[in-house]
Structure 1
Amino acid sequence: MKIAVIGASGHIGSAVVREARERGHEVTAVARDASSLGGGVDADVLDHESIAEVLAGHEAVVLAVKGPETVPAAVRTLIDVLPGVGVRRLLVVGGGGSLEHAPGQRFVDSPNFPKEYLAEARAQGEALELLRAEGGALDWSYASPPPVHLVDGERTGAYRVKAGDTPIGGPDTRITVPDFAAALVDTLEERAFVRERFTAGY
């Protein structure tokens, strides 16, 4: 599969690039500054023209960017751009803060949610709503890690995945970055969770 990973210099994006390449996929690593990527492509996901040129010809796009202003704007850009370049499959690496601890009650709206992550979590939730309102031109998936414990560690292959708005195993579930990246590549390979949010954990 020919996969473009936007945000390839980031913690999760770089893990997805490694995982996909190890499985034999052709990966285009995209970042604003790709000089450290060894063969990556410089592109700004918010620049419609340049990102369209980079993404044309791919079978799937993974968006793994951060920033309260960047995330929703990047999703809007890809909703606009991807149909025009013939790409239907989009996997957005989202946040865990918009997962629910009870029906209709998101972690991000709890009074004890960490203030330093509040803006990012709200932006990730906005990105999910943009995808859910998208008119059907994209086969999108939105991946949420656990709400707190996405941690460094080994690739175990022992993770679980499920669709929906609640974390696997409750708020204290965890997953390592390499296992989360593996779950993301699984989703592309299996064409799973189309037009759904899903989450992963142990």
Structure 2
Amino acid sequence: MRLVLFGATGFAGGKILREARQRGHEVVGVARHVESLAEPKEAGSLHDEKFVLDATAGADALIVAIPGRPMPDGTKLFDAVPTLFAAAARRGLRIGVVGGAGSLRVVDGGPRLIDTPEFPEEFKPEAGAHAEVLAALQEAPAGVDWFYVSPAANFGAHAPGERTGSYRLGGDVLVTDADGDSSISGDDYAIAFVDELERPTHRRQRFTVGY
């Protein structure tokens, strides 16, 4: 497959880039600053519709691994959703989004993680912004093929974890282990993400991954 990955220098984006390339896929890494990336790479923004359409010519999927919160210039991921839809319509490609865990239910029928007292205040802007993106995807035109992968609660550069090659999938409820912990390493998250690209089973759906 030919994949175009926005946010290739970030934690999740970098893991997905490496995993997909190791499996033999052609991945164009896109970021605002691409000096640290190996070819193929392009410097650009998801908020530039012409750039996105040009970059995704011939692509099978567009991967979005950028923060939801506003950037220094005031733009945020939600603002780019119309561009994602335009690329899907024009190029006939699939959209894969690295999502957040905050919009997951802690138990079936229970509150969202972001609405629990334990959820850190400093993470709420990011979690809320990603929840907006998910809601927009769920209202996407019928022809848009997308998927959104929420990680476990403990995920990110602060807790990179180790590659195990295993994971468990869930839907809209947080995946936890027997001790009630919710975590996934960056490498294993990337494995699950690329598995979905190779063998689509969650079309126009959000799913979550954890141990």
TM superposition score normalised by structure 2: 0.89
Structure holding more helix per residue: 1
Alignment counterpart, residue 173 of structure 2, candidates 129, 146, 166: 166
The more displaced of 24-33 and 68-77 is 68-77
Map 1:25-44 to 2 at 5 A: 25-39=25-39, 40-44=41-45
AA partner of residue 90 (structure 1): I
Map 1:13-162 to 2 at 5 A: 13-39=13-39, 40-69=41-70, 70-87=76-93, 89-102=94-107, 103=109, 105-150=111-156, 151-162=159-170
Question: CA–CA distance in 1 between the matches of 2:66 and 2:155?
Answer: 18
Q: Residues 107 and 54 from structure 1, CA distance in 2 versus in 1: closer, same or farther, beyond 3 angstroms?
A: same
Question: CA–CA distance in 1 between the matches of 2:130 and 2:118?
Answer: 18
Question: CA–CA distance in 2 between the matches of 1:80 and 1:33?
Answer: 24
Number of residue pairs aligned between Structure 1 and Structure 2: 200
Uncovered stretches (5+) of structure 1, i.e. residues with no partner? none
Q: How far is the alpha carbon of 1:149 from its aligned partner?
A: 4.1
RMSD of aligned Cα (Å): 1.5
Given that residues 43 and 54 in structure 1 are in contact (C-alpha distance below 8 angstroms), is that contact kept between their aligned partners in structure 2? no
Aligned-residue sequence identity (percent) comes to 40
Question: CA–CA distance in 2 between the matches of 1:17 and 1:45?
Answer: 17
AA partner of residue 152 (structure 1): P
Tell me the alpha carbon deviations over residues 112-147 of structure 1, each in whole angstroms, 9 at most, x when there is no partner: 321110000000000000000001121110100012
Residue 193 of structure 1 aligns to a residue whose secondary structure is coil
Q: How far is the alpha carbon of 1:36 from its aligned partner?
A: 1.4
Q: Residues 185 and 132 from structure 1, CA distance in 2 versus in 1: closer, same or farther, beyond 3 angstroms?
A: same
Uncovered stretches (5+) of structure 2, i.e. residues with no partner? 71-75
Q: Residues 83 and 104 from structure 1, CA distance in 2 versus in 1: closer, same or farther, beyond 3 angstroms?
A: farther
The more displaced of 142-151 and 51-60 is 142-151
Question: CA–CA distance in 2 between the matches of 1:135 and 1:29?
Answer: 27
Residue 202 of structure 2 aligns to a residue whose secondary structure is coil
Structure holding more strand per residue: 1
Question: CA–CA distance in 1 between the matches of 2:162 and 2:151?
Answer: 16
Question: CA–CA distance in 1 between the matches of 2:80 and 2:152?
Answer: 22
Given that residues 56 and 86 in structure 1 are in contact (C-alpha distance below 8 angstroms), is that contact kept between their aligned partners in structure 2? no
Q: How far is the alpha carbon of 1:192 from its aligned partner?
A: 1.8
Moved over 4 A (4+): none
Question: CA–CA distance in 1 between the matches of 2:58 and 2:123?
Answer: 36
1:193 matched residue in structure 2: 202
Residue 100 of structure 1 aligns to a residue whose secondary structure is coil
